[in-house]
Chains A and B, each alone.
Chain A
């Protein structure tokens, strides 16, 4: 029986290898709503919890295309339609001169999209989160590795899941209050 007071069960590991093995087993066991927390990026952990693709490249590509197009079209519209000025007999649509601003706008929009797209997809900023209720979780930004099974998982059971996590050889298992 699920209770609303619990957010999930969290197991603590003291090495990246132990976390990866545990995450792989948990994922294989059929738990789908799981996550892991590490003090530095480990590609293998994301693989182990079944997270293979993310949309940051797509967002960045769209940002870059929008930036490049708006940069070029802006210059085209200003220089040929809204404010045509004869500069040294150069054509109004002097496209080689427009390349630099187009390039800079592409980079600017793509970069901003990459950063803010990443934050938005991650749901950040989010100053409060239930995992912070576990006091040992402060070590996740130092030298400890955590695995969580969310209470919303179909297979989640307060007793059976705890037993399963304890069988993975963690340092400790804690309940995360929501």
Chain B
């Protein structure tokens, strides 16, 4: 081995703490599910999240009784919170797929300890996202009309519409994410089946494990299928937010009709997703003592991804401004001027602060490696990314071509209850997940150990 590679290896923090074996990894991760008692803190956290979720259900129940008039949406702002929150949630989900699929294809084995809960996060975030378009269609009991199925009305969806593309993109994404997550869980469910003392738990894990026994032939097909799924999920995840951005970019509304949207939406999605990964990983690794598995190197790598995608987002904002001027289109120019000086100008500048200025402190190594700072900055980024979608949806719509059709958007308490309620639903699902399923992939962690090395030197 030459000196240069030797030097490269030294300063890197390990992806797994020293002194672990196959057995200790298995015990440590499975004991969180199998033997650790439920703490008061867990009950408190889950209870609050569960209450918030019920608030959402109440708000949706009232919506079904009264209709979308209880929301702040009016003409010209017909999209409001429902679409803002939809785009925000689905973007958050993207980091999970990036970690599990793209980083796997790039052979970034440090991902092995965070991919499981990042994928769970994806699934729950997509579920939260899915709530909004469904309740926004006005007659949610007819939402299945969006799918092409032979019907007695003799009509079909309109395939030139980005909204129909979105139905296909999001439902495919939800399906593939669920399959990817479940298939990744199967070998670990077998571990839980074999280690569980409780008869009922043993039976449930046993059924979910599908009879997995770790045969070499099974593993070979499993690895192939997993790799192929990663290869399929990679273009899929890029397509999902691209299609979401088409919902806007294919329209002619100033502030929407731009070709920068697909890449800038995808980068923004990954940006907010990594912020959510950090906001979940930092408390979880502290509470469950998983610092050996989710190490400082994971936090630092995630921070670097945030920094990089944040800069792509900054480029998007700058190009939007530049094109507003360079296009020579007075409506485009006015849209940009209105963002900076109009009634929602405060939110536009807060967007710059949250998404562009504050995260630049991640250039400082000390802050990048401090869990507390990362947690706070991630919170700021999540707020910023929500503001971005608010600016795109509401601020573009409220001032369009004709002054006679200008308006303002004021979200009602029902809008807020639904939005905050989905955060409760997301957290409730995370609380259940960490105690029911192994939150770190046990079998993939085993492959990282030195004792797993079998290549003949």
User: Which residues of A line the B interface, CB within 8 A?
Assistant: 15-17, 20, 23, 35-46, 48-49, 51, 54, 56-57, 60, 74-75, 78-79, 82-83, 85, 87, 90, 94, 97-98, 100-101, 103-105, 107-108, 110-112, 114-115, 117-119, 121-122, 124-129, 131-132, 137-143
Q: Interface size on B (CB < 8 Å)?
A: 63
Closest CB-CB distance, B212 to chain A, in whole Å? 7
Closest CB-CB distance, B42 to chain A, in whole Å? 26
Chain A residues, Cβ within 8 Å of B365:
none
Smallest CB-CB separation from B448: which chain A residue? Answer: A40
Q: A43-B223, A108-B172, A132-B213 are in contact. Are A142 and B195 (CB under 8 A)?
A: yes
Q: A38-B216, A107-B172 are in contact. Are A142 and B22 (CB under 8 A)?
A: yes
If A46-B219, A125-B211 are given as contacts, then 7 extra A-B residue pairs at C-beta distance below 8 Å, sorted by A number, are A43-B223, A56-B228, A57-B228, A114-B228, A115-B229, A124-B218, A141-B187
Question: Which of B158, B213, B220, B229 interacts with A129 by CB under 8 Å?
Answer: B213
Q: A35-B217, A46-B219 are in contact. Are A143 and B23 (CB under 8 A)?
A: yes
Q: Give complex CA distance A57, B443 in Å.
A: 23
Best-surrounded residue of A20, A85, A104 (most CB of chain B within 10 A): A104
Say if the beta carbon of B160 comes within 8 Å of chain A: yes
12 contacts between A and B (CB under 8 A): A39-B446, A40-B444, A54-B224, A82-B156, A83-B154, A100-B169, A105-B168, A107-B172, A110-B228, A115-B225, A125-B211, A138-B195
User: Which residues of B line the A interface, CB within 8 A?
Assistant: 21-23, 26, 148, 154-160, 164-165, 168-169, 172, 175-176, 179-180, 183, 187, 190-191, 193-195, 206-207, 210-225, 228-229, 232-233, 235-236, 239, 243, 246, 443-444, 446-447, 451-452, 454-455
Closest CB-CB distance, A171 to chain B, in whole Å? 14
Is there an interface contact between B454 and A20, defined as CB atoms closer than 8 Å? yes
Chain A residues, Cβ within 8 Å of B451:
15-16
Query: Secondary structure of the A side of the interface?
Result: helix
Q: A57-B228, A105-B168 are in contact. Are A118 and B160 (CB under 8 A)?
A: no
The 6 closest A-B pairs by CB, nearest first: A143-B22, A125-B210, A118-B225, A126-B211, A138-B194, A46-B220
Is there an interface contact between B216 and A35, defined as CB atoms closer than 8 Å? yes
Q: Give complex CA distance A140, B446 in Å.
A: 13
Is there an interface contact between A141 and B21, defined as CB atoms closer than 8 Å? no
Q: Give complex CA distance A110, B228 in Å.
A: 9
Question: Which of A49, A78, A85, A141 interacts with B216 by CB under 8 Å?
Answer: A49
Closest CB-CB distance, B261 to chain A, in whole Å? 14
Closest CB-CB distance, B301 to chain A, in whole Å? 23
Best-surrounded residue of B21, B165, B172 (most CB of chain A within 10 A): B172
Chain B residues, Cβ within 8 Å of A125:
207, 210-211
Is there an interface contact between A107 and B211, defined as CB atoms closer than 8 Å? no
Q: Give complex CA distance A63, B236 in Å.
A: 16
